[in-house]
Amino acid sequence: MDLCLDLYANPPNSNNEELNLKILGICGSPRKGNTEWLMRELMRATEKRGGKTELITLKDKNIKICDGCLSCEKTSACHIKDEMQEIYNKILSADAVVLGSPTYMDAPTSIAMNIIHRMYPLYGKIKGKRFASVVVGQVGGQEGITSRGKVEDYFKAIAGLFELDHVGSLSVAARDPNDASKITDIEEQCENLATKILNQS
């Protein structure tokens, strides 16, 4: 059944019943490290609250760079036939999208940036969907907060460009493998963002 029709047939009750929303996670890390671990933990926290999740790891996808042809402005479709075509469909069918990336020189990774550039054909088609981000940096303290904040701000700006509903972000310092898993309150942080993604009180 169409999700919108299903919501009318089964409206949320006063107890804020989970709506089984579809959450698409996109991990923009070029390796299997802290960012991917956090994305998986966030997806698990979301599933615990009734969400249906899927995680795409861009490092495992063959996605060519945007060639700037601008043909999508006329056709509303990308002429490059690669694995991005499948991701377009997944983004369109999702209720919320979560984009995760490590910080590389105060910026998202190249594969995370490329996915954003390749999303141009979706301009005007995904407004109103919920959006959240996961940002991981190597540096701690105020310097790290400032660095990760630049990536958070960029993702928030992109959400605004596509008219997405930016619901929040998860930002942590984690350099070595498994560092993220050692953060004392990381489970609580994931649960808090999952709650915002699902719009639960």
pLDDT > 80? residue 13: no
Cβ atoms 51, 22 nearer than 8 A: yes
pLDDT > 80? residue 62: yes
Cβ atoms 92, 64 nearer than 8 A: no
Residue with tokens 């959450």: 23
The burial of 147, by beta-carbon neighbours within 10 Å (0-12 exposed, 13-18 middle, 19 or more buried), is given as: buried
pLDDT > 70? residue 15: no
Which range among 7-11, 33-37, 196-200 shows the weakest confidence by mean pLDDT? 7-11
pLDDT > 90? residue 139: no
Domain boundaries, the chain: 20-197
pTM of the predicted model, to two decimals? 0.85
Does the domain spanning 20-197 belong to CATH 3.40.50.360? yes
Distances (CA, A) of 163 to 4, 66, 95, 192: 19, 21, 14, 23
